[in-house]
Amino acid sequence: MSEPINATISPWMPEQDRIRLAVLGKLAEECNELGARAARCIIQGIDEADPASNRSNRAELAREIADVIACTEVAIEVLTLDVSDRRIQDKMRGFYRWHTMIETGEGR
């Protein structure tokens, strides 16, 4: 028999602070715009132009990355987030190791 739904629901309140709401909303928006641009680069090719705007996918990707970096920096400051430099460095090393694995065919 399945557990009643009321047993799995916990009370929570959505964020109420208007500035934090704005920062989080903008961060979500900018990250999604970057994701959409990355998908367009995959579908059309990074060195192609967007047929609707005739803008370079590479330039638009760089623009969206800049937007996300700016928004992320603001979010870190306004939300007083303790972002780990070690985690950033570990993640970057992992990405570069993964690229090497792809290039060498390791793990196939």
Could you read off the pLDDT of 58-99 as tens digits, one per residue? 999 999 999 999 999 999 999 999 999 999 999 999 999 999
**Per the domain annotation, does 42 fall within a domain?**
yes
**Per the domain annotation, does 50 fall within a domain?**
yes
Domain count for the chain: 1
Phi, psi of 49 (to 5 degrees): -105, 145
Q: Which domain holds residue 31?
A: 17-81
* All residues at 6 or more sequence positions from 58 whose CB lies less than 8 Å from its CB, including other chains: 41, 46, 47
Q: What average pLDDT is seen over the chain?
A: 94
pLDDT of the residue at 41: 97
β-sheet bridge partners, residue 56: 49
Q: What does pTM read for this prediction?
A: 0.84
**Per the domain annotation, does 88 fall within a domain?**
no
**Per the domain annotation, does 75 fall within a domain?**
yes
**Per the domain annotation, does 51 fall within a domain?**
yes
